[in-house]
Amino acid sequence: MTTTARFPTGDPAADPAADHAADHAADHAADVRRAHALRRMRAVALGLLLLAALVFVLTHDRDGFWGFVNAGAEASMVGAIADWFAVTALFRHPLGLPIPHTALIPRRKDELGRGLEEFVGENFLSEEVVRERVLGARVSSRVGDWLVEPDNSRRVAEEAAEVIGVALSKVRDEHVRSLVEDALVPRFREEPISPLLGNLLAESMRDDLHHGLVDLALEELHGWLVDNPDTVTEVIGERAPWWAPPSINDRVTSRIHLELVRWVADIRDQPRHRARAALDSMLRQLAEDLQHDAGTMARTEALKERLLDRPQVIATAISLWEALRHALTDSLDDPEGAVRLRMRTELERFARRLVDEPALRERLDGLAADAVVFAVERYGSELTQVITHTIERWDGKEAAERIELHVGRDLQFIRINGTIVGGLVGVLIHTVVVLL
């Protein structure tokens, strides 16, 4: 069946019904051309048969040269009629007679479909064939050669940014709420969080990742103490004895505030300060208790449940999502935004690696081949079953007509070749008879 290549026009007003009608008209025109070619080849084959019959009649009972011609004409008729019978028997009963083993396609179209399904599956969807074709396509090399061009990488980044932007705009608050309420929160309730937190804290301590957080906390605490002396002295003064003179209270609270600022500054500036060591020891013990102490684990799980029961959790998740979405969409909408620039930079870097690193190309091609082989092994049978299911839905007569329309012209050459070859064989046999 002739198909016409079509490309997107970018016109949102394009009518799918009009496209379908155009395709149907093109298919009909192609079928008309095939039918005309089939009739023409049938006429040629029939003409050769009639010519052989005429020559046979005109040269009947003649000797010499005409005897050879008569023998050739007789064999041509036999070959032409035999091949006509063979070709016709594929699609219908010759002369309408229900001769056994004729009209093969209408009667056995289902077996034909299953055989074709097995043939395609064994010869086109085997692991060896698929892997060879995918590896031979050199997908990674072609992608790298194409992406290395700045215009192409820019186009990919822009298209990806638009797609991501549209996808983000389609996610609504109720979708996030449903995800949090129906999926995340129940999962968090089922999963013990205490061992996870303990292991995370232990790993952070082992890699000294907590030092940055401690430094940040000390810096912020020191700045707050320096900027809010009145608040500190007021809090301390509230704990002073009622009988102490105010002047003494002021001097004591001021001194405490000064020493507190100095102490926090010492901890901040001295990586090996005893307070830091004490904090590390406390955190290590907490990590151990979170993983193994039943009381600590129970309290942690109770705290988790209280947090999950608060409606603010869902509201906070939605707020975080909204903030993230707005930040991403704003950056994606900006042609020179950080996200688009980063995407283009990474694409160009990746393309350059594809061009310069054969090992990377080989690895990616292997992964692509593995993915395609997996898809074929998992869904290949479903793909080939489309052949069987489609043929089973066909009417037997209609199937024969459709197949004959596509291959009948070539089959008529069998009749033509049979006529010619039969004549040559007839002449050869007559020659042998004369010589003997």
Q: From the centroid of its chain, how far is CA 429?
A: 64
Q: What are the pLDDT tens digits along the chain (436 aa)? A: 334 434 344 444 445 556 556 666 777 788 788 888 888 888 998 999 999 999 989 888 888 888 888 889 999 999 999 988 888 888 888 877 888 877 777 777 777 778 877 878 777 777 888 888 888 888 888 988 898 888 888 888 888 888 888 888 887 777 777 887 788 778 878 888 888 888 888 888 887 777 888 888 888 888 888 888 888 788 777 777 767 677 777 788 888 888 889 999 999 898 888 998 898 899 889 889 988 888 989 998 888 888 888 777 778 877 888 888 888 888 788 877 778 888 888 888 888 888 888 888 899 988 998 998 888 888 877 778 887 777 777 777 777 777 777 787 888 888 888 889 988 998 898 888 888 7
Using alpha carbons, select from 316, 299, 304, 310 the residue that is nearest to residue 193: 304
DSSP state at residue 94: G
- Cα–Cα distances (Å) from 136 to 132, 239, 312, 368, in that order, read 6, 82, 56, 12
**Around 387, how many Cα atoms within 13 Å sit in the side-chain half-sphere?**
16
One-letter amino acid of 256: I
pTM: 0.49
Opening angle at CA 326, ends 323 and 327, nearest 5: 85
For residue 87, what are the contacts with CB-CB under 8 A and spacing of at least 6?
411, 412, 414, 415
Enumerate the H helices of 171-273 as residue ranges.
173-179, 185-190, 194-206, 210-227, 229-237, 246-269
pLDDT tens, position by position, 289-337: 988 888 989 998 888 888 888 777 778 877 888 888 888 888 788 877 7
Burial call 29-58: b when 16+ CB within 10 Å, e when fewer: ebeeebeeebeebbeebeebbeebbebbee
Burial 269-303 (b: 16+ CB within 10 A, else e): eeeeeeebeebeeebeebbebbbebeebbeebeee
Q: At what angle do helices 246-269 and 229-237 cross, to 10 degrees?
A: 120
d(C-alpha 185, C-alpha 174), whole Å = 15
Q: How far apart are CA 80 and CA 423, in angstroms?
A: 9
79 touches 421 (CB < 8 A) = yes
Phi-psi region at 171: left, alpha or beta (left = phi > 0; alpha = psi -120 to 50): beta
Residue with tokens 């930040």: 327
Q: How would you classify residue 16: left for phi > 0, otherwise alpha for psi between -120 and 50, otherwise beta?
A: alpha
For tokens 């002047």, the residue is 247
CB atoms near residue 403 (< 10 Å): 19
